[in-house]
A and B are shown apart, each in its own frame.
Chain A
Amino acid sequence: MAAGARPVSMGWRRWGIAGWLPGGAAALALVALYALAVAGLLGVAGGPGGFDPFDPYVLSILRFSLIQAGLSTLLSLALGAPLALALARRQFPGRDGLIKAMAIGFVTPVIVAVLGIVAVHGRAGWLNQGLGLIGLDGGTYLYGLPGILIAHVFFNAPLAARIFLQTLQAQPAAHWRLAAGLGMPPGAIFRLIDWPVLRREAPGIAALIFLLCFTSFATVLTLGGGPAAQTLEVAIYQALAFELDFQRALALSAVQIALCLLLTLGLSAFGTRPAEIDAPVAEIARPDRAAPATRLLDGVVFLIAAVILLPPALAILLRGLSLQGFSILADPNLLRATLGSLQVAIPAGLIALLIGFGLAWTARHARLSGHPHLARLPALIASIALVAPPFVLAAGLFAALVGKANPLALGPVLVPLVNGIMAAPFVFRLVGPALDRAGERHDRLCRGLGIRGLARLIWIDWPAIRRAVGMGLAIATAFSLGDFGVIALFGGQDFTTLPHLVYRLMGSYRLAEAGSTALVLLLLIGLLFWLLETLIAGRRHA
């Protein structure tokens, strides 16, 4: 050590606070908010009532929730993994755009996507029309489990594919040169290089998709077809919004959170780490591209994926592009709804970023400072935010605060807040791995030089994580743009968003305008995505 240099231990102490503070603050804030919400609802309900969670109806919903979520996850992975492999192998014009578009599918507002799915798979849908041409009738297969599965795969298979793709492409270039130099046949490349990666990433992706499908709301509501096909989330919403049975809502929420936490903990025993998004792209082409066997396989995979994923997207586009629909463009409501959407989505995105990033930062700090078991806590809290019903949070906070503030002003504050909390887990899962990697690379250097806190974030970590941050912010904001659940509780004429407008248009028989508004919403999401990813993430990439 050079003479006059500060001993490392002093820097370490101060480093401690900078590490624990963001996550600690985020966690405390979340816990406080949830506690307030529960208190608010209990206050209105007049105390916790007797509620039998083992009521046969509840058990049957539980069973259905688990079945549909499990099947959705399996199917999404089954399509997503081969699709990722095919994309990893093939280069074609528009590939980058396609991969970006796949992320958008994940944030497409449910009401928009469901209409597209109905247009394709419904009784009078394209598929049945096509079958009718050759004398067959598919009947009504859409409402119920099949419809829910189709919708979930539509949303989640592209997401799974994109995450798998990033990890597949994260192989060091040297590995591909080795494979080429050794003359590895395609089968061996899959067995020895790709499959270990897929197997390692699958539990993490599966956990995420399972939780998303388990807490699925709008999809199940529309395509479920009735009481036989409902999830806990739907039951909670019913209890809260329409049966005015707050005790039941709270009790069901507790069941849902407990169950999902158990599942998360169980899956994490497989040694999952959150799936990586931010990964360098290998420049050298994979040696198995040319083999005829892989060409055929990839072609088939692309075909299947196109058949499953493209038609609803097309239907959404076609529905929105009608002359009658375009009349909405002149309507001032459209502008108001757009501004309202931005008013909700941008703060929500920032809140999600603050919370998600704070949790990820502290999780990394726990790991790097020798307390890896503590790193589980932020992850756990992020999971709770993922599965806790937003309606309970929103309604509870509203009930708690309504005496203390103008109720009409609460909506514009609560909607972004709740949406932000809902989206925080995604930021956590996107930014976390990037932060971890940057940490692994530079931690000893930073500790040795005493670089900590904000300086470390700006100078050392930022270049490595900016892409993940950009994508996290984009997803969180896009999510909130398309959200309908929470705004339904608080929206009104003055405070309206685009999805809200779509519903109102539908409620007045104005389906063409609803379709065009949905298209505007999609365009806005796409624009925001592109803007945030480019501005924050920097260079263009796949």
Chain B
Amino acid sequence: MRKTTLAGLAAAMLLAAAGAPALAQDRPVLTVYTYDSFTADWGPGPAIEQAFEAQCACDLVWVGLDSSVGILTRLKLEGPAAKADIALGLDHFWSTEGARTGLFATHGQDTTSLDLPGGWQDAIFLPVDYGFFAFVYNKETLANPPASLTALVKDAKGPSVVIQDPRSSTPGMGLLVWMRSVFGEGAEAAWKTLSPRIVSATKDWSEAYGLFLEGEADMVLSYTTSPAYHRLAEKDGRFAAARFAEGHVMQIETAAKLKAAPNPELADRFLAFLLTDGFQDKIATGNWMYPVKLPATGLPEGFDAPLPADAVRAVDPARIDAARKGWTEEWLRALAR
């Protein structure tokens, strides 16, 4: 090969090596597995890292995995050899499955005085934030949104929707649970009725939301807090979340300590930190979800209050875990033409 080629390749390799991760420091390291958008610069991650490092004299290292379910997958693959101290951002629908892996330890935190609708019983998984699933739409293009899930499903001339695949996306699974909760055994038929108006069932939330913003569908399955993002961060008041009469299903994100955590005391301190203002006041405008413990400053200006208790549909995670596979197959059958 010519000299220039070799030189070029050598330069490229040097460049690549320069991008290698930073060397470890002397302070103890807390490794937290979470999902990507949490750790991104525009997410809550950096501010939380700063707040915790200020009080712990340690180095908080995020490991961003591609999704909430991905965290569990990764931990299952790694098994007891995992170097993680904390898993943050596990959807509570997966709690039973998570407990079954035997990888997590009890959190030992007091969860009696949380501002979480329905309270919290689980000893292993600690809730950190929550949200309500809802169909979001553009007020300018959809003047009369359906008032209930039943209305959305039954109206053949109703709005088109983009949803997520329940196998890969927690909102997708949330909708599956929602449909089952409202229609019971009639869920499969309901899905069939809705099917022609489902533009796409995407792999994850970001794709579905992107399609919605592109104008590909009238409504997108998202959270009640999505319009708040557009209002507060983009000064765009066109979006709203449809309130359904049957009530909305909640998503609760949790954190847990790994049994094989390299730094168990640090992990415990982090778990305690999760329920303090230092963490909770970053959630609203960082993650666009509701804090499980309202910070002293309350919710930001313009952020809608959480749904009242009577607008929430309670679901049992244990039951979901048992029925998940069957419900998914039902969904597949209904949608496969």
| Chain A residues in the interface with B (C-beta under 8 A) | 44, 57, 60, 115, 118-119, 122-124, 140, 142-143, 221-228, 238, 240-244, 331, 333, 336, 339-340, 342-343, 346-347, 395, 398-399, 402-403, 406-408, 412, 488-489, 491-495, 500, 503-504, 506-511, 531, 535-536
Please determine whether A333 and B15 come into contact, CB atoms closer than 8 angstroms: no
Please determine whether A140 and B160 come into contact, CB atoms closer than 8 angstroms: yes
Q: How far is the CA of A492 from the CA of B65 in the complex (A)?
A: 6
For residue B280, CB closer than 8 A to chain A, the reply is no
Q: Whole-angstrom distance from the CB of A233 to the nearest CB of chain B? A: 13
Chain A residues in 8 Å Cβ range of B79 = 44, 402-403
Chain B residues in 8 Å Cβ range of A488 = 66, 70
Interface pairs (15), CB distance under 8 Å: A123-B199, A143-B199, A244-B72, A244-B76, A339-B19, A343-B16, A346-B9, A346-B16, A398-B77, A491-B65, A492-B39, A495-B21, A510-B42, A535-B4, A536-B5
Please determine whether B336 and A227 come into contact, CB atoms closer than 8 angstroms: yes
Chain B residues in 8 Å Cβ range of A336 = 19
Q: Interface-forming stretch among B50-58, B117-125, B203-211?
A: B203-211
Please determine whether A492 and B62 come into contact, CB atoms closer than 8 angstroms: yes
Q: Interface-forming stretch among B143-151, B214-222, B242-250?
A: B214-222
Q: A60-B336, A510-B42 are in contact. Are A124 and B203 (CB under 8 A)?
A: no
Chain B residues in 8 Å Cβ range of A221 = 202-203
Please determine whether A342 and B19 come into contact, CB atoms closer than 8 angstroms: yes
Please determine whether A143 and B167 come into contact, CB atoms closer than 8 angstroms: no
Q: What 8 A-B pairs come out closest when comparing CB atoms?
A: A339-B19, A124-B215, A507-B206, A226-B201, A343-B16, A507-B37, A492-B64, A506-B206
Cβ-neighbour of A511 out of B5, B201, B213 (below 8 A):
B213
Please determine whether B201 and A346 come into contact, CB atoms closer than 8 angstroms: no
Cβ-neighbour of B63 out of A227, A493, A536 (below 8 A):
A493
Chain A residues in 8 Å Cβ range of B319 = none
Q: A118-B211, A140-B160 are in contact. Are A535 and B2 (CB under 8 A)?
A: yes
Q: Interface-forming stretch among B176-184, B264-272, B294-302, B327-335?
A: B327-335
The residue in chain A whose Cβ has the minimal distance to the Cβ of B141 is A124
The residue in chain A whose Cβ has the minimal distance to the Cβ of B334 is A227
For residue B36, CB closer than 8 A to chain A, the reply is yes
Q: How far is the CA of A342 from the CA of B203 in the complex (A)?
A: 27
| Chain B residues in the interface with A (C-beta under 8 A) | 1-2, 4-5, 8-9, 12-13, 15-22, 31, 36-37, 39-43, 45, 62-66, 69-70, 72-74, 76-79, 81-83, 97, 160, 165, 167-168, 198-207, 209-211, 213-217, 229-230, 233-234, 329, 331-333, 335-337
Chain A residues in 8 Å Cβ range of B160 = 123, 140
Q: Whole-angstrom distance from the CB of B71 to the nearest CB of chain A? A: 11
Please determine whether B2 and A225 come into contact, CB atoms closer than 8 angstroms: no
Please determine whether B39 and A493 come into contact, CB atoms closer than 8 angstroms: yes
Please determine whether B202 and A222 come into contact, CB atoms closer than 8 angstroms: yes
Seed contacts A222-B203, A244-B76, A495-B21; 4 additional CB < 8 Å A-B pairs? A122-B211, A240-B73, A346-B9, A408-B63
Chain A residues in 8 Å Cβ range of B13 = 346
The residue in chain A whose Cβ has the minimal distance to the Cβ of B198 is A226
Q: How far is the CA of A377 from the CA of B200 in the complex (A)?
A: 42
Please determine whether B78 and A508 come into contact, CB atoms closer than 8 angstroms: no
Please determine whether B36 and A504 come into contact, CB atoms closer than 8 angstroms: yes
The residue in chain B whose Cβ has the minimal distance to the Cβ of A407 is B78
Chain B residues in 8 Å Cβ range of A142 = 216
Cβ-neighbour of B201 out of A225, A340, A399, A500 (below 8 A):
A225
Chain B residues in 8 Å Cβ range of A403 = 79, 81
Q: Whole-angstrom distance from the CB of B73 to the nearest CB of chain A? A: 6
Q: Whole-angstrom distance from the CB of A128 to the nearest CB of chain B? A: 9
Q: How far is the CA of A503 from the CA of B207 in the complex (A)?
A: 9
Please determine whether B20 and A343 come into contact, CB atoms closer than 8 angstroms: yes
Chain B residues in 8 Å Cβ range of A143 = 199-200
Chain A residues in 8 Å Cβ range of B43 = 508
Q: How far is the CA of A340 from the CA of B41 in the complex (A)?
A: 17
The residue in chain B whose Cβ has the minimal distance to the Cβ of A319 is B214
Cβ-neighbour of B83 out of A119, A342, A406, A489 (below 8 A):
A406
Please determine whether A506 and B36 come into contact, CB atoms closer than 8 angstroms: no
Cβ-neighbour of A57 out of B74, B229, B230, B336 (below 8 A):
B336
Chain B residues in 8 Å Cβ range of A500 = 36
Please determine whether B217 and A123 come into contact, CB atoms closer than 8 angstroms: yes
Chain B residues in 8 Å Cβ range of A340 = 19
Please determine whether A242 and B83 come into contact, CB atoms closer than 8 angstroms: no
Please determine whether B216 and A123 come into contact, CB atoms closer than 8 angstroms: yes
Q: How far is the CA of A535 from the CA of B6 in the complex (A)?
A: 10
Q: How far is the CA of A491 from the CA of B63 in the complex (A)?
A: 8
Cβ-neighbour of A241 out of B1, B9, B73, B331 (below 8 A):
B73
Q: Whole-angstrom distance from the CB of B282 to the nearest CB of chain A? A: 15
Q: Whole-angstrom distance from the CB of B59 to the nearest CB of chain A? A: 12
Q: How far is the CA of A336 from the CA of B20 in the complex (A)?
A: 9
Please determine whether A242 and B216 come into contact, CB atoms closer than 8 angstroms: no
Q: How far is the CA of A536 from the CA of B13 in the complex (A)?
A: 17
Q: Whole-angstrom distance from the CB of A373 to the nearest CB of chain B? A: 34
Q: Whole-angstrom distance from the CB of B110 to the nearest CB of chain A? A: 31
Q: Whole-angstrom distance from the CB of B240 to the nearest CB of chain A? A: 16
Q: How far is the CA of A6 from the CA of B332 in the complex (A)?
A: 72
Please determine whether B70 and A241 come into contact, CB atoms closer than 8 angstroms: yes
Q: A118-B216, A225-B201 are in contact. Are A506 and B83 (CB under 8 A)?
A: no
Chain B residues in 8 Å Cβ range of A493 = 36, 39-40, 45, 62-64
Q: How far is the CA of A343 from the CA of B13 in the complex (A)?
A: 8
Q: Whole-angstrom distance from the CB of B336 to the nearest CB of chain A? A: 5
Q: How far is the CA of A223 from the CA of B66 in the complex (A)?
A: 20
Q: How far is the CA of A169 from the CA of B312 in the complex (A)?
A: 69
Chain A residues in 8 Å Cβ range of B229 = 509
Q: How far is the CA of A225 from the CA of B21 in the complex (A)?
A: 38
Please determine whether A508 and B42 come into contact, CB atoms closer than 8 angstroms: yes
Please determine whether A140 and B199 come into contact, CB atoms closer than 8 angstroms: yes
The residue in chain B whose Cβ has the minimal distance to the Cβ of A340 is B19
Please determine whether A242 and B167 come into contact, CB atoms closer than 8 angstroms: yes
Q: Whole-angstrom distance from the CB of A97 to the nearest CB of chain B? A: 22
Chain B residues in 8 Å Cβ range of A395 = 77
Cβ-neighbour of A227 out of B19, B22, B202, B331 (below 8 A):
B331
Please determine whether B168 and A241 come into contact, CB atoms closer than 8 angstroms: yes
Q: Whole-angstrom distance from the CB of B283 to the nearest CB of chain A? A: 15
